[in-house]
Structure 1
Amino acid sequence: MSVIILILQLILAVILLPLYILYYLGIWGFILKKIFPLFVSRISVSYNKVMENYKHSLFSNLSDFAGSTKELRLLDVGCGTGANFRFYPNGCRVTCLDCNPNFQTYLRKSQAENDHLKYDGFLLASADNMTPVADASMDVVVCTLLTCSVPSTPAVLEEVHRVLRPGGALYFIEHVASTDESSWTSFFQKVLNPTWKLIFDGCNMRKTTWKDLEDAKFSELNLRHIYAPTALKLNSPHIIGYAVK
């Protein structure tokens, strides 16, 4: 089976050879930074529709983690277009962080549409190096569809742990590798993953993020695997939950 997968990967690489050349010349990465926010702004609408019940349920207890001031301080990591804003509680103070400055046009639109929140600005930084965010300064960190595209999930989780106050929580929704290695989903994830990462700005369908969360330094982990009702079944395997520092 592994030989078949390798052959199919090579066939795809040959078909998309011009794209690989553009990538290694640095041209494709530049183009992606410009057009990817537009793609995300369109796809996040349909994703929120199919995931609405999951998101409402997950974020329903966010306010429980408000600190002594009773004002919830939330860091939205990899905020993108602000697709999660409408699920956050009234009066929540949101700090947005993303490594792509081109998201800001779409982010401002989401902020205007969700005036029940207070916004503490946009930070241009990567999830694994959030130096603008002070230690223990956040009650909640939210990461959704982020870890698929970061080089090191453990490094991101270390940073999340650092910026959370004691007793704060990380909330997450991530698409991950299929846990059933014998399934067709797993097979096609393996075949398409190299090409998928190239086209979708480093997005990795084969991430085992649940293992990184289990190995992280959180005192409590509430995690479950779900099969999300997404249009593309290859990305249906998800994990959802929250972890407490």
Structure 2
Amino acid sequence: MALALFVLQLAVRILAFPVYLLNFLGLWNWICKRGFPYLMLRFTATYNKQMASKKRELFSNLQEFAGPSGNLTLLEVGCGTGANFKFYPPGCRVTCVDPNPNFEKLLIKSIAENRHLQFERFVVAVGENMHQVADGSVDVVVCTLVLCSVESQEQILQEVCRVLRQGGAFYFMEHVAAERSTWNYFWQQVLDPVWYLLFDGCNLTRESWKSLERASFSKLQLQRLQAPLSWKLLRPHIYGYAVK
């Protein structure tokens, strides 16, 4: 099995040689950062259709974490195109963080289509360093399909805990590694190195639940799901919320 994995990984790398060459020349990152938002616009539209019921379930109790004033202050990390906006409750005050500034113009379109929200600002930053967001300043942090691509899950979860007020909650929905004994996990391993380049740092084999279990939350509600997605590699999911 190890030999088969090595041979297939080598074959995939050979097929993807043009991408590796562009990356070596420093051009792939430039191409990816500009093209990725439009790829995500198409992907998230399909993802939302297939995952709408699970997203509604996940975000159904957001309002329970509103502050004393009754207004919910929400920070979305890795906001992308604003695909989650329609699932947030009316009057929710939203701040968005994303390291790719090219998402902003697509985000503005989503804001215009979701007038039930009160948009605060768009911050260009990585989730591991959100120093523009004050300590304990938000009721809820949301992160969907982001932990797969961050540099350090531990660091981003530390930042989440820092910006959350005491009693606030972190909501997540992430694709993760399949069970290790399955063929799905085998193919995730085969494709992971090239997938990482093609999809802006996305990892197929991350066991993100382990980082969530190690983080300093007082309560963790985590569920596993075989998502009804067209791409089998992305079907293993975790979702839920954690309370500071």
For the criterion TM > 0.5, the same-fold answer is yes
What is the percent sequence identity of the aligned residues? 54
Letter of the structure 2 residue corresponding to residue 168 of structure 1: G
Letter of the structure 2 residue corresponding to residue 82 of structure 1: G
Q: Which residue of 2 aligns with 1:201?
A: 200
Letter of the structure 2 residue corresponding to residue 7 of structure 1: V
What SS does the corresponding residue of 1:53 show, helix, strand or coil?
Answer: helix
1:166 to partner: Cα distance: 0.3
Letter of the structure 2 residue corresponding to residue 210 of structure 1: W
Q: Which residue of 1 aligns with 2:70?
A: 70
Task: Tell me the distance in 2 between the aligned counterparts of 1:149 and 1:26.
Answer: 19
What SS does the corresponding residue of 1:217 show, helix, strand or coil?
Answer: coil
Q: Which residue of 1 aligns with 2:122?
A: 122
What SS does the corresponding residue of 2:148 show, helix, strand or coil?
Answer: helix
| TM-score (norm. length: structure 2) | 0.99
Q: Which residue of 2 aligns with 1:157?
A: 157
Q: Which residue of 1 aligns with 2:239?
A: 240
Structure 1 residues not aligned, in runs of 5+ = none
1:57 to partner: Cα distance: 0.7
What SS does the corresponding residue of 1:147 show, helix, strand or coil?
Answer: coil
Cα deviation, 1:20-79, whole Å, max 9, x if unaligned, reads 011122100110000000000111111001100000011010000001121100001100
Task: Tell me the distance in 1 between the aligned counterparts of 2:25 and 2:63.
Answer: 47
| TM-score (norm. length: structure 1) | 0.98
Cα deviation, 1:113-166, whole Å, max 9, x if unaligned, reads 000000001000001000100000000000000011111111110000000000
Q: Which residue of 2 aligns with 1:211?
A: 210
Task: Tell me the distance in 2 between the aligned counterparts of 1:55 and 1:12.
Answer: 34
What SS does the corresponding residue of 1:149 show, helix, strand or coil?
Answer: coil
1:15 to partner: Cα distance: 1.7
What SS does the corresponding residue of 1:129 show, helix, strand or coil?
Answer: coil
Structure 2 residues not aligned, in runs of 5+ = none
Letter of the structure 2 residue corresponding to residue 228 of structure 1: A
Task: Tell me the distance in 2 between the aligned counterparts of 1:15 and 1:205.
Answer: 19
Letter of the structure 1 residue corresponding to residue 103 of structure 2: F
Letter of the structure 2 residue corresponding to residue 100 of structure 1: N
Q: Which residue of 2 aligns with 1:229?
A: 228
Task: Tell me the distance in 1 between the aligned counterparts of 2:145 and 2:58.
Answer: 14
* Structure 1 residue runs of 4 or more that deviate by more than 3 Å after TM superposition: none
What SS does the corresponding residue of 2:168 show, helix, strand or coil?
Answer: strand
Task: Tell me the distance in 1 between the aligned counterparts of 2:37 and 2:66.
Answer: 31
Task: Tell me the distance in 2 between the aligned counterparts of 1:171 and 1:55.
Answer: 11
Task: Tell me the distance in 1 between the aligned counterparts of 2:107 and 2:173.
Answer: 19
1:105 to partner: Cα distance: 1.1
1:239 to partner: Cα distance: 0.2
1:231 to partner: Cα distance: 0.5
Q: Which residue of 1 aligns with 2:132?
A: 132
Task: Tell me the distance in 2 between the aligned counterparts of 1:18 and 1:109.
Answer: 34
What SS does the corresponding residue of 1:148 show, helix, strand or coil?
Answer: coil
Deviates more, 1:139-148 or 1:3-12: 3-12
Q: Which residue of 2 aligns with 1:38?
A: 38
Q: Which residue of 2 aligns with 1:188?
A: 187
Number of residue pairs matched?
244
